[in-house]
Amino acid sequence: MPPDLYVSTHIHTDGPIPGPHSLLTLSAAAHSAAGDPLGTFSVNLRELHGATLHPASHREWRTRAEEWLTTRRAARPPALATLAFARWTARLPGRPVFVAEPESYLFVYWYAQRFAGEWPFVGTVPAESAPAHVTAVDLCALASCRARSAA
């Protein structure tokens, strides 16, 4: 039986793994299995207490200072942002399946377990196995994302 809906995410981080590094932005889009858009979610998150900016990420973000500032505007505490995402997911009309990009899955799973205490999805599918219409990158407010999306 196909899933009722797909949820794809697009994230920005300040390092390669959650915990020592933070999730900075989380955007999500929900689509029915038929491709109908069902809703979107977007939030900027504050850095985790005690987390640090990874040196490679620091070099990358230094070349995109305006985009870094965009990720810091109206940033919410990680727990509140994650709980809001879990509530948004729970209100979707059907059984949500997470469309997994490796980095997105790693961070979203860790934050969901750490701050919401559960994984709000009934399953996970690799992004390359999901229908082509399922994407969240278009929700990203950063110019570099829009440029990649248009290419």
pLDDT band at 14 (very low <50, low <70, confident <90, very high): very high
| Closest residue by Cα to residue 117 from 79, 144, 81, 145 | 79
Residue 13: which residues within 8 A CB-CB, separation 6 or more?
21, 22, 23, 24, 57, 103, 107
The model's pTM: 0.92
| pLDDT score at 151 | 61
pLDDT band at 147 (very low <50, low <70, confident <90, very high): confident
> Over 60: is that where the pLDDT of 1 sits?
no
Helix, strand, or coil here: 66? helix
pLDDT band at 129 (very low <50, low <70, confident <90, very high): confident
Three-class SS of 76-115 = ECHHHHHHHHHHHHHHCCCCEEEEECHHHHHHHHHHHHHH
pLDDT band at 137 (very low <50, low <70, confident <90, very high): low
| pLDDT score at 4 | 84
pLDDT in tens, 49-96: 999 999 999 999 999 999 999 999 999 999 999 999 999 999 999 999
How far, in Å, CA of 35 to CA of 88, rounded? 19
Tell me the fold of 5-150.
Nucleotidyltransferase; domain 5 (3.30.420)
Look-up of token digits 């809001």 = 84
- Sequence ranges of the domains in the chain: 5-150
